[in-house]
Structure 1
Amino acid sequence: SEDAALYEKIIALTGTSAEEPSQDTPSDVPAQETVPAVQTTGALTETETRPAPAGNMEPVKEGRMRNINISPSGIIGALKCMLSFFTIIRINVDEKDMEAMDQNFWLAPVIGLVTGIVGFIACLIFALAGLSNILVPIVAIASVYIFSKFLHFDGLADFGDGMIVSSGNKEDHVRALKDSRVGAGGLGVALTVVLLTLLSYMEFDAIFGMPIHNWTFMIGVPMAVLSIEVLVKYSQVVAATFGNPGNGMASNQVRNTDMNSLILSSVLTLILLAITTVIGWAMIRYSSLGAVPIPGWHIGLMFVMGFVMAAVVGVLMAHISNKNFGFVNGDVLGATNEISRCAILLVTLLIEGFIMTW
């Protein structure tokens, strides 16, 4: 009969009876499931077998590739791909570069430094021209947005739509997050974050704006942009570390970013912050013709608190996204970039305000 023939095929293929468990697989061992390879950028991840999750266990990051590729070719390939993807700079990349980016997302603060340098130069030009302290902060935001192709701003708007959903149903949150149309939630969140960022940059000029020779050199915004863009990319790494991977373009970056990646990124970020701290202190010293009105430890304290705030925002964004969407995707990482910038500015201003008041 057909059933008997099917039964024989099963035995021939598996070497076991369809009714009795294999001797190699005792009945008291949990069922195994094979995690399929994931392909988002042309690079296949390695499959792995793990026990099926039971109950309400948190999902684990499955199908990892080699977590980190710190070889020179891996680092160079990752930076090339990040520059091409996260900025307006066009570079020819191949599948190896894409795979290297997925494995080395901890290098994102380097892209933040490049973005910060672009914003720093743009602000410096307008500041040295003696333009108003309203225009320079606008240039700071516009230059960063243009250089990053408004990529993270788009993620912020999508994240706002996904969060401002009347029902608590996870499917509704995900549907709103992935909807290409921008709703009231996305518009409201984006406007709030941008306006707070703009006003915070203006306050930096009010605190750190000083004359330099015959120019009115507003050093606050250029100095802030240089450091903050490093910190916001670090915040993305933190969010990727604690986030659950989805199935979009950023899934492999989130999947392969673990505590080892976070440690490397933390060390890298602190080194870059030390460099920008020295630059900021030197700018203040030169602009005040040798009389430093703000001690160097003030600048260092603000950058340290900015580092802590970037980590806090990254953890919170991962927690909120895991709870409401079930994952951290590219939109969430973009929103983390924008929200952490605003939060870091506000916190550093509060700290400096208390120090100057007391």
Structure 2
Amino acid sequence: MRNVLPFLTRIPIKGDFERIPNELWAFPLVALVSSALPTVLLYLKLPLANVLAVLALYWTIGLLHLDGLADWADGIMVKGDREKKIRVMKDVNTGIAGLFAVVMVLLIQVYSLQLLPFYALFLAELNSKYAILLALATKKPLGNGLGAYFMGGMNREQLAIGTLLYALLYLPTALFEPEALVGILGLVLGVYVVRLSLENFGGLNGDCLGAIAEITRAGTLLTLAFLWAL
């Protein structure tokens, strides 16, 4: 986990980037760290705690995934063949589709958190990190970037360990609040983004992984918010 943590967060510890493909199983564990500060802010019920929690989240994990979401959305929404979609996704300029996607994800998270218990963001981050692991398990890289690099180390053993960790981390909350199990449905959105990416681009790259992470987290919070609002 020590090597994965500095890549998925801004925590200032040293890690060996070349060892990350062998520690993909630890992705779910990162949720414990990435959600820690936001969860504390929500637990303390500070003024505008939902806004502060989202700011604390991105202070912890950085904006890499949000940037990937913007690029991914631009590629998905443009009309044209696969080559054009890939070209637009890799363009350094952000279009209106990317801007819209980022704004919506941020708004969904901020609004949902004001309706949810303090542990909801942990569950959403857990889903987000596990969804990346599931995406890597497809073994369908696009290009030779980070996605391909990580997929090169992915295997059944890492997926099995990661899945076990995911279940063990989710279980305590589910036992305390059985209704929280509905949050697992947030993974459906992550799987849908994987499918959409494969259909439009023919594979997954770093931008796709970022979109999967962001949409899964926001989708999990929205799903839980619907439940708590009933």
Give the TM-score normalised by the residue count of structure 2.
0.90
2:35 match: secondary structure: helix
Determine the structure 2 residue equivalent to 1:189.
Answer: 101
The structure having more radius of gyration, on CA atoms, is: 1
Contact 1:254 1:329 in 2 (8 A): no
Given the alignment, which residue of 142, 145, 152 partners 2:65? 152
Determine the structure 1 residue equivalent to 2:150.
Answer: 253
CA deviations 1:70-89 (Å, max 9, x no partner) are: xxxxxxxxx12221112112
Given the alignment, which residue of 164, 180, 184 partners 1:307? 184
Contact 2:124 2:220 in 1 (8 A): yes
User: Which structure has the highest strand share of the two?
Assistant: 1
Once the two structures are TM-superposed, the CA of residue 276 in structure 1 deviates from its matched residue by 4.1
The 5-angstrom pairing of residues 168-317 of structure 1 reads: 169-204=81-116, 220=117, 222-246=118-142, 247-277=144-174, 281=176, 299-302=177-180, 304-310=181-187, 312-317=188-193
Gaps of 5+ in 1: 1-78, 205-219, 282-298
1:91 match: secondary structure: coil
The 5-angstrom pairing of residues 1-358 of structure 1 reads: 79-93=1-15, 97-125=16-44, 127=45, 129=46, 131=47, 135-167=48-80, 169-204=81-116, 220=117, 222-246=118-142, 247-277=144-174, 281=176, 299-302=177-180, 304-310=181-187, 312-354=188-230
1:203 match: secondary structure: coil
Counterpart of 1:187, as a letter, is: L
**1 CA distance for matches of 2:23 and 2:194?**
19
CA deviations 1:215-242 (Å, max 9, x no partner) are: xxxxx2x221222211211111112212
Contact 2:79 2:85 in 1 (8 A): no
Contact 1:173 1:324 in 2 (8 A): yes
CA deviations 1:141-180 (Å, max 9, x no partner) are: 111111111121111111111111021x111111111111
% identical aligned pairs: 28
CA deviations 1:78-102 (Å, max 9, x no partner) are: x122211121122233xxx333311
Determine the structure 2 residue equivalent to 1:12.
Answer: none
**2 CA distance for matches of 1:309 and 1:327?**
22
2:145 match: secondary structure: coil
Counterpart of 2:52, as a letter, is: V
Q: 1:106 to 1:313 in 2, by over 3 A?
A: farther
Give the TM-score normalised by the residue count of structure 1.
0.60
Counterpart of 1:238, as a letter, is: L
Contact 1:160 1:186 in 2 (8 A): yes
Q: 1:231 to 1:179 in 2, by over 3 A?
A: same
Q: 1:112 to 1:158 in 2, by over 3 A?
A: same
**2 CA distance for matches of 1:254 and 1:301?**
34
Counterpart of 2:49, as a letter, is: V
Contact 1:240 1:318 in 2 (8 A): no
Contact 2:141 2:151 in 1 (8 A): yes
Once the two structures are TM-superposed, the CA of residue 349 in structure 1 deviates from its matched residue by 2.7
Q: 1:259 to 1:227 in 2, by over 3 A?
A: same
User: Which structure has the highest helix share of the two?
Assistant: 2
Once the two structures are TM-superposed, the CA of residue 277 in structure 1 deviates from its matched residue by 4.5
Gaps of 5+ in 2: none
Determine the structure 2 residue equivalent to 1:60.
Answer: none
Structure number with higher relative contact order (C-alpha < 8 Å, ≥ 6 residues apart): 2
Contact 1:239 1:317 in 2 (8 A): no
1:344 match: secondary structure: helix
Contact 1:152 1:338 in 2 (8 A): yes
**2 CA distance for matches of 1:352 and 1:266?**
26
1:257 match: secondary structure: coil
1:89 match: secondary structure: coil
